[in-house]
Amino acid sequence: MKSTKPLVLGLTAGLALSLFGIAGIANAEPVSNSYVLVGSDTLQDSVNALTNGTDIGGAAFRATAAGGATLGNFDAFGSATIQTKPNGPFFVRPAGSGNGRNALIASITGAPWQGKTITGQVDIARSSSGPGGQASSDGKLLYVPFGRDAVSYAYYGSGTELASLTTAQLKQIYESNSPVTINGVTVQPLIPQSGSGTRDFFLSAIGVTALGTTVDSHANTLAENDASVLTTVGHIVPFSAGSWIAQANGASGVNTIPASGLVKLGSPNGQAPFTGSGSSLVPASAFYSSQFGRDTYLIVEYARVNPGDAKYDAALWGLVDPTRPTSLTNMSAGPTTAGAVKRQFGFLPVADATPIRAYTTI
């Protein structure tokens, strides 16, 4: 859990506070009077900025639903339970991409989520990974591309011994049942909790199908993109390049990267994830185009964004329609667009902007 995240003011139903002029927005826990987003840690800070309001893209921007209704974007980690809509139930917070998707499915179908019925309580799931083998032309869910991220690894070290690990070395580290030593450093691998899209993508990118016994997930509680967990020489953990850039640049409203300079972002196969230094980092397009690059998504129920369906919700589609400059999925460069905001959080335009239907059965 990101214990260094500061407290901020939430937005309650019917209450609209102008947060323009604040460069980066930390978490807010609003009871929404319109639509609710849950899921991925990697996307949460950029979506917080988009929904709470920011001028970090060069002009004041805030995404709202029809009539200016506020959106409820719930972080992956925080209180154990959340209430997303007025008079709705309190239910277990969905932590990570997989849990966000599953909570969305429970909201659609009425099936229990962690023992609680949450029908109608979640509208959009943030996901740092695509549908994989669940993609289907008649899928019940729609994955709408949000932005291009990449995944590297963060490490603790006073030198450069772990600065440029190869894919083969990373694979060895994460599938070994005995300690691995590289350049004289005994590596201590950490991994985010199950349900993390960053965890799943990283392991797939390095070819690991079964974790070794040396890998520590802190009893399956380790949050994504929290550099403060790296406390000992040899510690490494998968880390979103976009999240690292956003934290270093001061965009995310929270910075877990220790000031000591001993925690750094690695360059897999010698390829740096960013250019620049200090608080002026820029994504490296070559790394984002490598095997470590990934498109991220917002997931919605397909029926609700299909004009031919009785459940069609034009306002919901407006929030995820990438052709609209003010939609959450837009990646345009203009200063009054969502894309301009997301670029400050380390995202680049997606490799493939085509929405993907997935999950024939939910």
Mean pLDDT of the 228-256 span:
95
> What percentage of residues in the chain have a pLDDT greater than 70?
92
Q: Do 111 and 222 fall into the same domain?
A: no
Res 201: pLDDT: 95
Q: Is residue 24 part of a domain?
A: no
Owner of token pair 């609003």: 30
Mean pLDDT of the 290-307 span:
98
CB contact at 8 A, 331 and 339: yes
Q: Is residue 324 part of a domain?
A: yes
Res 342: pLDDT: 94
Res 49: pLDDT: 94
Reported confidence tier of residue 241, pLDDT bands at 50, 70, 90: very high
Q: Which domain range does residue 141 map to? A: 36-146+294-358
What is the 3 state secondary structure string of the chain?
A: CCCCCCCCCCCCCCCCCCCCCCCCCCCCCCCCCCCEEEECHHHHHHHHHHHHCECCCCCCECCCCHHHCCCEECCCCCCCEEECCCCCCEEECCECHHHHHHHHHHHHHCCCECCECCCCCCCEEEECCCCHHHECCCCCEEEEEEEEEEEEEEEECCCCCCCCCCHHHHHHHHHCCCCEEECCEEEEEECCCCCCHHHHHHHHHCCCCCCCCCCECCCCCCCCCCHHHCCCCCEEEEEEHHHHHHHHHCCCCCCCCCCCCCEEECCHHHCCCEECCCCCCEECHHHHCCCCEEEEEEEEEHHHHCCCCCCCCHHHHHHHCCCCCCCCCCCCCCCCCHHHHHHCCCCECCCCCCCEEECCCC
Q: Do 222 and 178 fall into the same domain?
A: yes
Q: Is residue 14 part of a domain?
A: no
Q: Is residue 41 part of a domain?
A: yes
When mean pLDDT is compared across 2-6, 56-60, 244-248, 315-319, the lowest value belongs to 2-6
pLDDT surpasses 70 at 27: no
pLDDT surpasses 70 at 246: yes
Instruction: Among 245, 261, 288, identify where a domain stops.
Output: 288
Instruction: Among 288, 310, 345, identify where a domain stops.
Output: 288
| Cα angle value 98/103/107 (rounded, 5°) | 150
Q: What is the pLDDT of residues 75-99, one digit of tens each?
A: 999 999 999 999 999 999 999 999 9
Reported confidence tier of residue 334, pLDDT bands at 50, 70, 90: confident
Residue 303: how many other CB atoms lie within 10 Å: 16
Res 95: pLDDT: 93
Amino acid residing at 6: P
pLDDT surpasses 90 at 39: yes
Q: Is residue 30 part of a domain?
A: no
Res 28: pLDDT: 52
Reported confidence tier of residue 18, pLDDT bands at 50, 70, 90: very low
Q: Do 122 and 196 fall into the same domain?
A: no
Q: Do 279 and 308 fall into the same domain?
A: no
Structure tokens at 15: 């209450």
Q: Do 93 and 187 fall into the same domain?
A: no
Number of domains in the chain: 2
Q: Do 168 and 263 fall into the same domain?
A: yes
Q: Do 236 and 109 fall into the same domain?
A: no
Q: Do 163 and 230 fall into the same domain?
A: yes
Mean pLDDT of the 121-150 span:
97
Q: Is residue 6 part of a domain?
A: no
CB contact at 8 A, 129 and 201: yes
Length of the chain equals: 362
CB contact at 8 A, 339 and 246: no
Instruction: Among 266, 288, 310, identify where a domain stops.
Output: 288
Q: pTM, whole model, 2 decimals?
A: 0.88
Q: Is residue 319 part of a domain?
A: yes
Q: Do 281 and 330 fall into the same domain?
A: no
Reported confidence tier of residue 346, pLDDT bands at 50, 70, 90: very high
Res 195: pLDDT: 85
pLDDT surpasses 70 at 197: yes
Q: Is residue 222 part of a domain?
A: yes
CB contact at 8 A, 130 and 197: no
CATH number of the domain bearing residue 160: 3.40.190.10
Q: Do 283 and 320 fall into the same domain?
A: no
Mean pLDDT of all residues belonging to the chain: 91
Q: Do 240 and 343 fall into the same domain?
A: no
Is 308 exposed, middle or buried, given 0-12, 13-18 or 19+ CB atoms closer than 10 A?
Answer: exposed
pLDDT surpasses 60 at 214: yes
Mean pLDDT of the 267-277 span:
97
Reported confidence tier of residue 24, pLDDT bands at 50, 70, 90: very low
Q: Do 282 and 308 fall into the same domain?
A: no
